[in-house]
Structure 1
Amino acid sequence: MAGGAAVKAKYLGLAILLGGLGGCVVHPPQTSEPPASLPPQSQPQPGPSSAPGATPPRITPQPQTPAQPSRSRPQFAPPPGGKGVWDGSLGVYVIRGERDLYYRQRTYYRWDGGWFWSTSPQGPWTETDARGIPPGLSRRYANP
């Protein structure tokens, strides 16, 4: 039985050690600096009490118009190599020195009697239709 008691004592010692170390993980060490004081929280002021039969004031919501995104500044990251010029009306970068080659969001688009896309300006090219290209390009080439 003495062997069993020794094993239990080892497990108990291990449990105490792990429990003590676990407390170090849960509680960060204290610094000598006092904690920053929090600003006082404002308490909500009680509203006017409504008398029986009184009509609450009407709140008229103000219509909010969404801000229009700027068409003069790029909305996407430029293509690698710096050969792209942002065209806000198309919503893509036009690749300089290439005919009908565009870039947006890590994808190149090419018009060659139909639409093709690739992750590289050299291809390989995959055929797609107008649903697979940015809307500005499909409008531009709607009637080629």
Structure 2
Amino acid sequence: MDAKIRELTPRMWGQSPTRCIERINVYLRGWSSYFRICTEENVHRLHVWDAHIRRRLRAILVRQKKRPRHLFRHLQERGASVRGAAHSAYCRRGVWYRSNSVGMTVAYRNAWFHERLVSLESTWESLNPRPKLASGQTLLFDP
């Protein structure tokens, strides 16, 4: 899974982020349908993969704004504070560090990705609904 995500989200993505998200969605839909039978203990790993994919996409967005001042303006237009946008844009650290900085996470919140990107965790929860119990009942065994 990790190698395929790296392949689908290369560092030097030259097309629009929407196109990259479309490619990832195709893969994630197929992957989640094939591996939908997993235990609840492994659902945390799906959450970690979702976060990793979002961070890789944020890194692509940072890389596409080649100059720091362009990234600064873009983050401000998307609602980041001046201080957060400045830290994200003018920080001397690499793209990976800046992809998880305050300015990027405010400008591209998880809700923004939730509208566009397939979530492995929510897909698993929709494919494996929990049994509904009446009030006062307890589940004695795992179905």
TM class, shorter-length = under 0.3
Quick check: which has more Rg, 1 or 2? 1
Point out which structure has higher relative CO (alpha carbons under 8 A, 6+ apart). Answer: 2
TM-score normalised by L of structure 1:
0.19
More helix by proportion, 1 or 2? 2
TM-score normalised by L of structure 2:
0.20
